[in-house]
A and B are shown apart, each in its own frame.
Chain A
Amino acid sequence: MAHHDDYAHTSAGASPALLNDSRLDAATLIDYYRQMVLIRRFEEKCQEMYTKAKIGGFLHLYIGEEATAVGAIAALRPQDHIFTHYRDHGHAIARGLDINALMAELFGKVTGCSKGLGGSMHFADVSKNFWGGYAIVGSHLPLAVGAALGMKMQRKDSVVMAFFGDGATNGGEFYESLNFAQLWKLPVIFVCENNLYAMGTPLEVHSSVTELYRKACAFGMTSERVDGNDVLVMREAALRAVEHARSGKGPVLLEAMTYRFRGHSAQDTQKYRTKEDIERHRRNDPIARFRALLLNEGIATEQQLRDIDRMIDDQVEAAVRFADESPEPGHEWITQAGVYAAPIAVDPPIHGE
């Protein structure tokens, strides 16, 4: 793993310079901090609620990767589109989905963002052009390309951002999607979140090429490897990619180097890595790094950040209450009317409906 650790360390410290170049105001910078902390606290609460059996199924936490979602999505406009994978909590929060609706979704309630039908892996909110989390690895990439084709054919200048993991870069859909997108010069930003493990299989064990951004060269596609644990570096790279895609030059592949502090899912015993591995990566915690930057550069005070932390704690507690008190989805969701936009009645009817 030394090779990947080196990358993270060498790129650490890029932020102070960017801070001046990007000309972001203090409020915006502090908001990135708020988003990242919100993702983390929300997910820590998810873990707690999972242990209490308030949340069922699989629970894949994004903790440790927050800067990638927040930085990348900060480069988008509301009219741009997002498709993501099953580890989708961070992207949903960074896109501004209501955390009450997200917690309610996890609780299987009808007030959930997907009416309690989707669960953790299938957050969506069309009003935010957040087209969903998809739980078959890599299979949402053609959908993202299709949405980008739709934008191009409708003469809109919206771009599509597609998130996926390092494990997804070995499947056929990844290659089909990159080829289609580059062939037709479609406005897609492929954001590979390289957290060094395909579920529990290390990068070196699952991919013949471990610098994943190089896989774009087969398609003549622009690509870049960036420090996904630095929110400002991530944002700058995403802005470059978005500009490239929006100007009609075609897609970009970004490889965001990051690390998942928790297991693949709540059930993961993490036999594939040591506690020391995780501790070493924790020194590169995206939130701690950004917090230190804000304090060191005098952008925020300790008190300001503590106030934000406290506000988020309250917000997360309120989301749990909201989810707890919400009603469950009704029987109509398991009739044909829940399955089809235009159900067709037949005789004899299905389930006697």
Chain B
Amino acid sequence: MPVITVREALRQALHEAMQDERVFIIGEDIGHYGSTYGVTAGFLEQYGPERIRDAPIAESGIVGIAIGAAMVGMRPIAEIMSVNFSLLAFDMLFNHAAKIYAMFGGQMTVPMVLRTTNGWTQLSATHSQSFDVYFAHMPGLKVVAPATPYDMKGMLKAAIEDPDPVVFIEHTLMYTVKGEVPEESYTVPLGKARLAREGRDITVVTYSRMVHLSQQAADILARDGIEVEIVDLRTLRPLDMSVALESFKKTNRAVVVTEDWQSFGTSAEIAARLYEYGFDYLDAPIARVNFREVPMPYSKNLELQTVVTVDRIVQAIRKTLS
């Protein structure tokens, strides 16, 4: 099976999706500029300006237009270059995309995908955030954040085919991550977690880029004979906890690793569900590894103390096992 990057996997999914005449892509700098992270590079030349729509820098308009077009039968893919800019489109997402099906009594659907990306690399406070929890909080949205090239391709295809609005969260530090991806078309269902690594001693529950850091932490701990099991949630709404709970019932210990602030963050919900449904199996308090609760500093040294690192995951696992 070919080994390709996350970027290439996403490109394959988008190329396949473009075979459907209803699909178009709208976003900032997706065409003439050549695409900020290279995902849609060359698409403008291949599909033309009607279906690869370079938009003004107007996030609310971009997402609102995608919603309106979806309502009348198109399959828009809106790209918000960085999740930090999605704040400007929250009203569109939360008050319209998420509500239209329920609020009008099920007479209309909003089959759109919002692609956006988390990430940080000395971009300071306003350009290094994660709003996963805001999206995942909202009934009416589906929210996915895959980790592997295989899931990126299959879940993006599934998101585009889904009749409901889907927020598809990528990560700037994952576009070059490689993995096996079949050339043929396939989908990976939304709302299904997966076991990313088998182990008998402790369960790490995580998603997106943190799956890869957790794997590195598990490799380090394996040298000491510690077996870490890793659960990749893949979808945040609806949240499938079955794989995590199954693992937790075996290991009785868990660490939740998410790349966002801890208070009221995604790890709070995940840990709450482990406690709620796995209380009888609990041998130690559930640990959490997250961003430090500060606006992201620019200074490299301070930034590395703020984000989640392999070392911090290793420490949290050792402490939970002690």
Contacts and interface: CB of A to CB of B under 8 A. Distances in A.
Interface in A124-182: 124-126, 131-132, 134, 136, 139-151, 153-154, 172-173, 176-177, 179-180
Contact of B50 (A139, A151, A153): A153
B70 to A, nearest CB: 7
Contact of B92 (A113, A142, A345): A142
Contacts of B51: 153
B233 to A, nearest CB: 11
Contact of A114 (B73, B91, B107, B240): B107
From B103, B107, B164, name the one whose CB has the most chain A CB atoms within 10 angstroms: B103
A260 interface: no
Given A153-B50, A176-B61, A122 B71 contact: no
Given A114-B104, A176-B56, A346 B64 contact: no
B186 interface: no
B69 interface: yes
B72 to A, nearest CB: 4
A218 B106 CA distance: 38
B58 A179 contact: yes
Contacts of A148: 68
Contacts, number: 165
Contact of A145 (B61, B142, B245): B61
A289 B224 CA distance: 90
A153 to B, nearest CB: 6
Interface string B97-115: 0001111111111010000
Interface string A175-208: 0110110010000000000000000000000000
Interface in A103-136: 112-118, 122, 124-126, 131-132, 134, 136
Given A116-B105, A117-B105, A342-B163, A136 B95 contact: yes
A142 B103 contact: no
B241 interface: yes
Contact of A142 (B50, B65, B74, B240): B65
A336 interface: yes
Contacts of B164: 340-342
Interface of A: 81, 83, 112-118, 122, 124-126, 131-132, 134, 136, 139-151, 153-154, 172-173, 176-177, 179-180, 183, 329, 333, 336, 338-348, 350
Given A172-B60, A346-B238, 8 more contacts: A145-B61, A149-B69, A149-B74, A340-B101, A340-B140, A340-B142, A344-B191, A346-B239
* 8 smallest beta-carbon distances between A and B, as pairs: A142-B64, A146-B68, A115-B105, A176-B61, A344-B191, A143-B68, A146-B65, A347-B242
24 contacts: A117-B105, A124-B107, A126-B108, A132-B104, A134-B95, A143-B67, A146-B67, A146-B69, A147-B72, A149-B69, A153-B50, A154-B72, A173-B64, A176-B60, A180-B58, A180-B61, A180-B65, A333-B102, A336-B238, A341-B111, A341-B164, A342-B163, A346-B191, A347-B242
